[in-house]
Amino acid sequence: MKNNFLLTGGAGYIGSHVANALIDKGHKVTIIDSLITGDERLVPKKAKLYICDIDNIEKVSQILNNHKFDIVMHFAGLIRVDESVKKPDKYLEFNYKKTKKFFNLCFKHNLKKIIFSSTASVYGNSRKKVSEKFKLSPLNPYALSKLKVENFLIKNSKLKNFKYIILRYFNVAGADQKLRTGLISKFSTHLIKIACEVAVGKRKKLIINGADYNTLDGTPVRDYIHVSDLSDIHVLTAEKLLKKQKSNIFNCGYGRGYSVKQVIEKLNDIKKKKIQFKIGPRRVSDSMYVVADTAKFKKHFKWKPKYDDLKNILETALKWEKKINK
């Protein structure tokens, strides 16, 4: 059965990949995006785009009235950890208060199935893989704003009679295999994005934010998941939620970590040329080690990733960077 999907933030990096994945499976996609951080060029031609903010009550109500959506996927939000530390109120307002207002409007229009885009940052620091039962300890206002939405969904699901899937992303990277979409950002702090910009000559060098962590080479370790696999996770969880799947929370990663230096070395191998970098100070609120325990998701969905390969992640990211810099 093909369904009618509403995506907020569908002109962004992850949202646009998911939009393509849904359309590839024959689903109908409508996108709400303010284009503050999104880019209209990333929106699939077969998707309907409405340019507005999610807390524009009049416009969003009109959209909800004109379409009978089966499910909403919420990607819209501010994502820069460094900015959230400097402007915590901005992140609380946009990521939590506006989101809560939007969801309440959805409930009034009987849209009661939600896929929520959360983050592994809610776990804070760890020395081992984190399962969904790990103690939550957000280190920055960005992570806290996501956790507050999670708590809102958990607290109100029975009271307001809706179902949700919360997906906690680890480090999302790479680009669509067909290069239909990828990451476009003027202010990206994403390691692989910046490294690829250096590789194609858009930046002069990469700054490693801290090399004195208690890891094998002193640099932070992250679990990188290919954005195409993450898109498939969204399609899979949504299709299950539309049937009989109960509300739940799942980690989205591969369960394998790479340090910053390991990522750079792998990119050097691909390029056959060394990426210029220098060591800088640690960033405020950065975690040392963030790797997913993915057992719960695999048990529930019998899922196997297609692109669990750091080389593929880097190659697609690099091809995308070359494409947008022509």
Active site residues: 142
Q: Tell me the backbone φ, ψ of residue 175, rounded to 5 degrees.
A: -150, 160
Distance in angstroms (rounded) separating the CA atoms of residues 129 and 134: 9
Distance in angstroms (rounded) separating the CA atoms of residues 23 and 12: 16
> E strands along the chain, which residues?
4-8, 28-33, 48-51, 71-74, 113-119, 163-169, 171-173, 206-209, 221-222, 224-226, 248-252, 258-259, 277-280, 289-290
Label residue 135 left, alpha or beta by phi (over 0 means left) and psi (-120 to 50 means alpha).
beta
For the CA atoms of the chain, what is the radius of gyration? 19
The Cβ of residue 15 has, within 10 Å, a number of other Cβ atoms equal to: 29
Distance in angstroms (rounded) separating the CA atoms of residues 251 and 249: 7
How far, rounded to the nearest angstrom, does the alpha carbon of residue 138 sit from its chain's CA centroid? 17
How far, rounded to the nearest angstrom, does the alpha carbon of residue 323 sit from its chain's CA centroid? 22
Distance in angstroms (rounded) separating the CA atoms of residues 157 and 178: 38
Helix (H, G, I), strand (E, B) or coil at 319: helix
Q: Tell me the backbone φ, ψ of residue 49, rounded to 5 degrees.
A: -110, 130
Alpha-carbon dihedral 113, 117, 121, 122, rounded to 10 degrees: -20
The overall longest dimension of the chain from CA atoms, in Å, is 57
Distance in angstroms (rounded) separating the CA atoms of residues 265 and 193: 15
